[in-house]
Amino acid sequence: MKFAILSVILTISALTFAADYTIYVAPRDSQASQWASGVADSETQFSERKLFRALVKASELMSQAGDQSVTIKVAAGSYSGKAKQGIWVLPAVSNESATLRLLGGFNDDFSARNPFKSPSLLVTSEGRNGAFIQMTKKSVLRELIISGLVFDAAPSNKYDAKTNSILKGSSRTYPLISFSQLKTKHLVVDSNVFINGAHGAFDPFVAPADGDSTIDITNNFFINNIKTLKTEASSSRSVTFKSMRFAHNTFLLNWPYNPDPTSGDVSCINLYHKGGSQKTVFERNIFAFNPGGAFQHDWPEDRMPEIEIRENLFFMNAGLFGEGAADAGVFAGKFGLNPKYLLCDLLTIEDDFGYDTVGNQAFDPKIPITLADLKSADSSQVQRKDTVLNDVRRLFGLNQDGGTVKIANYAPDMTFNPNNLPVPQESKASGFGVQIDSAWK
């Protein structure tokens, strides 16, 4: 009898330590805010008008012992950080059984979401003192999912009023997400927009919980970022991630650290050595008009992880090197001790490297882009006005037959327009890059 009673107590205790919570976030006085207030019970469902308050609440809930799962659902609209500083911090969490899902783009009753057509925009500021979203150091989660947010760094950048080129020295040199070596079993970054980053979008610098830990970076737009991303993850006691996967992302017009072919960090993605993951996979992505190249490959091949580059679409990369061929600049690298960058097209990487490179293609996806029209002597006072370029070649001064690239300006201010999405207009490219109606479930 005593054993039966003890078993019941243990079962009740186990149930007590497992919970699912939902935090609804919506702008003040919106229909979504009214709906969220109506369903909040302050026990398992909560309502907040500010995203930073939702992150604080999520940290409190996940800091309870046991299997805690928190989903933050963010309605479409614009959100500023605390005191309009343009940053959002997740306070420290140390719970290897906790899951945090940060999901944006919901409709007014949170029954559905489309983060690209109904975006949740994080509004930053000129003087932001860090990444938009920041993990607190030494945090531990079983799983972190960030999906459906728009990270536009333009308000914290400065631009030349005549050329629209970025003034890098006057712009904020922080990434858009800082993971601060978060320890996790699974990281997902999905269906977001990273645009106008003056110092990269983010690096997946998280630490693996064990040897089966994975990273998935899927269905994101990376547009007009300087030094976009490095495939560098942390290790934990010599344990590395099992895999790092990039699928259905669109990498469009991402820039080298400096606008010249001798700069460090020239390409869109800087490939890191096998200390970050056992396998790095790229599939069904679009790499188009990245002036320094698609991938930077500086480590000798024998120090690299297993790499798969399968069924991706490349078009007109490595323009800063004077390349004009459709499949140019898939790799731009020094491959060890070479004093200058060597450029490799699709045929070269298939023939000369021991990587899995099957089904890749090179043709014009015909993606429209949207520039901000600057017409003021003081660029900090400019009200942004959208100017659509249906042919991105015009920004580079290309003729329709290809040839040498002439770049008109450096990392110009671009906008993300839900009514003119940067998706392929070429029908045969529709299966590559971001899929507008898909988002992490």
pLDDT at residue 322 is higher than 70:
yes
Residue 176 carries which side chain, given as an amino acid letter? Answer: L
Q: Can you tell me the distance from the alpha carbon of 219 to that of 76, in angstroms, rounded to the nearest whole number?
A: 18
Measured CA to CA, the distance from residue 167 to residue 427 in angstroms comes to 37
Q: Could you tell me which residues are beta bridge partners of residue 244?
A: 215, 280
Give the model's pLDDT for residue 78: 95
Q: What is the 3-state secondary structure (H, E, C) of the chain?
A: CHHHHHHHHHHHHHHHCCEEEEEEECCCCCHHHHHHHHHCCCCCEEEECCHHHHHHHHHHHHCCCCCEEEEEEEECEEEECHHHCCCEEECCCEEEEEEEEEEEEECCCCCCECCCCCCEEEECCCCCCCCCEEECCCCEEEEEEEECEEEECHHHCCECCCCCCECHHHCCCCCCEECCCCEEEEEEEECCEEECCECECCCCCCEECCCCCEEEEECCEEECCECCEECCCCCECCECECEEEEECCEEECCECCCCCCCCCCCCCEECCCCCCECEEEEECCEEECCCCCCEECCCCHHHCCEEEEECCEEECCCHHHCCCCCCCCCEEECCCCCCCCEEECHHHHHHHCCCECCCCEECCCCCCEEEECCCCCCHHHCCCCEEEECCCHHHHCCECCECCCCCCCCCCCECCCCCCCCCCCCHHHCCCCCCCCCCCC
pLDDT at 333: 92
Q: In the prediction, which pLDDT does 293 show?
A: 95
Who contacts 84 (Cβ-Cβ below 8 Å, separation ≥6)?
123, 125
Q: How far apart are CA 314 and CA 120, in angstroms?
A: 29
Q: Could you give the CA distance from residue 119 to residue 416 in angstroms, rounded to a whole number?
A: 10
CB count in 10 Å sphere of residue 45: 14
Average pLDDT over residues 129-142: 96
Q: What is the pLDDT of residues 411-434, one digit of tens each?
A: 999 999 999 999 999 999 999 999
Side chain identity at 238, as an amino acid letter?
S
Neighbours of 417 (CB within 10 A): 14
First CA to last CA across the chain, in angstroms?
45
Share of the chain above pLDDT 70, in %: 90
Q: Sketch the domain layout of the chain as residue ranges.
A: 18-77+101-113, 115-441
Query: With contact defined as beta carbons under 8 Å apart, do 81 and 121 qualify?
Result: no
Q: What is the pLDDT of residues 170-202, one digit of tens each?
A: 998 899 999 999 999 999 999 999 999 999 999
Structural tokens at position 20: 């699912």
Going from the C-alpha of 401 to that of each of 17, 211, 217, 231, 325, the distances in angstroms are: 64, 49, 34, 34, 9
Judged against a pLDDT cut of 50, whether residue 10 lies above it is answered with no
pTM: 0.93
Name the amino acid, one letter, at 268.
Answer: C
Report pLDDT for 380: 47
Burial of 10 (0-12, 13-18, 19+ CB in 10 A): exposed
Mean pLDDT of the chain: 90
Question: Which of 139-143, 242-246, 384-388, 397-401 is predicted with the least confidence, judged by mean pLDDT?
Answer: 397-401
**For the segment 332-382, what is each residue's pLDDT rounded down to a tens digit?**
999 988 889 999 999 999 999 999 999 999 999 999 988 887 554 444 455
Residues 100 and 141: beta-carbon distance below 8 Å: yes
